[in-house]
Structure 1
């Protein structure tokens, strides 16, 4: 009898722990969506839908692009970051040393495009579709991509290889409302002096190493104060 009571208590406690963890994750997910929607509303017509790419396109005040697909099961990149290559070229970039298809330099436009495949899920919608609806699908079906960066009080979407797009949890309390985050190492390997990339900030950022430990890593940051 005692063993049964202990087993039952253990099962209840385990379930409670799981539900608590799920609830906490859900809070992060919900707040990530509401804060992302706030960013979309603040940017207004700087966020549009491109039918040819089947993707939402966010354009920063200085011309950087963040794009995310309306459907991860489609044959277009799930997400893309694009930016002016000129500051990187001036800082020593040899475009021929950029790695593979992940870093595409277009000589005609003078821009670098970084496409990502993040999942295979088909997204579901009802009624008119908004950028928020697509982001909600990402949270619902690819929750692992969404994280919280405590140092900057940001939510973000992990794009791969240390690259991210982040936005403030509360824009009223943050002077970095959105940030393009790049891993500088591939650019360093291609000849770039990251401290000389004009318009980008090179520095140490504390991140979770995936094992619950905070570590400092090098990042190139392009922050924006939209208020």
Structure 2
């Protein structure tokens, strides 16, 4: 049965507030440890992906994917990517012609980012975790920690994220796909009607320390 999307306003105790740890090495290392746990639990949903020359993690319902590359040196913007089912967005009013032409591929919406041109030496023994470690090593600023929900996350483009719980044994939102709804609203989507997604007013901390309220589309999954 399909879930009904709802609009929620998160209180200060439950807002999505990503903050930098005073010791960035701690955030980086612990994000690797927790990501490894997610990979173990989702081992059947993690596979090699030839198109991105890397890896794909598919959501339990098969509708969304997080992808990350083995090598950033290729001339492509697809080093990291969120791929989501376009159908619920179309049913909520999306006019695909109002999105960038390369953002909609068949029945999928893709949001990606380029991580530079770093040549990474890979071999047949390279694992999905090895490739994630390279992101932490080379693009540490993309890795965030959300203390309130005890989540780590990786920023993909402007305002989008893939998140995972630090401890999936003590969290009911083990992985979360996060989208900035603005470009979809501009393309005709009613964000409160995107089936399977939550439309939330959340507060985030800017670099200057000021809290601002922003809109997010969230699709969480419990892996247990």
Superposition TM-score tier, normalisation by shorter sequence:
0.7 to 0.9
- Per the normalisation by structure 2, the TM-score is 0.84
Matched, 1:32 2:31: yes
The secondary structure found in structure 1 opposite 2:214 is: strand
Q: Is the 8 A contact 2:75 2:117 kept in 1?
A: no
Distance 1:22 1:220 in 2: 25
1:148 corresponds to which of 145, 149, 165: 145
Q: Is the 8 A contact 1:151 1:206 kept in 2?
A: no
Alpha-carbon offset, residue 55 of structure 1: 1.4
**CA shift digits 1:163-214 (9 cap, x unpaired):** 1111111111211001010000000000100000000000022222122333
Aligned to 2:174: 177
Matched, 1:220 2:183: no
Seen in structure 2, the aligned counterparts of structure 1 residues 214 and 50 have a Cα distance that, compared at 3 Å, is: same
Q: Is the 8 A contact 1:201 1:221 kept in 2?
A: yes
Distance 1:151 1:73 in 2: 36
Alpha-carbon offset, residue 119 of structure 1: 2.4
Distance 1:23 1:92 in 2: 43
Q: Is the 8 A contact 2:71 2:118 kept in 1?
A: yes
- Per the normalisation by structure 1, the TM-score is 0.83
Alpha-carbon offset, residue 84 of structure 1: 1.2
Residues 50-65 of structure 1 correspond to what in structure 2 (within 5 A)?
50-62=49-61, 63-65=63-65
Distance 2:209 2:165 in 1: 22
The secondary structure found in structure 2 opposite 1:160 is: coil
Distance 1:114 1:25 in 2: 26
Residues 48-197 of structure 1 correspond to what in structure 2 (within 5 A)?
48-62=47-61, 63-76=63-76, 77-99=78-100, 101=102, 104-106=103-105, 109-125=106-122, 128-197=125-194
Q: Is the 8 A contact 1:207 1:217 kept in 2?
A: yes
Task: Name which structure has the greater RCO, CA cutoff 8 Å, separation 6+.
Answer: 2
Seen in structure 2, the aligned counterparts of structure 1 residues 100 and 85 have a Cα distance that, compared at 3 Å, is: same
Larger radius of gyration: 1
Alignment length, in residue pairs? 203
Greater mean deviation of Cα atoms: 132-141 or 149-158: 149-158
Distance 2:71 2:57 in 1: 16
Distance 1:50 1:131 in 2: 11
Q: Which runs of 5+ in 2 are unaligned?
A: 1-19
Seen in structure 2, the aligned counterparts of structure 1 residues 126 and 49 have a Cα distance that, compared at 3 Å, is: closer
Alpha-carbon offset, residue 123 of structure 1: 2.5
Q: Which runs of 5+ in 1 are unaligned?
A: 1-20
Please state which structure has a larger fraction of its residues in helix. Answer: 1
Aligned-pair Cα RMSD in Å = 1.9
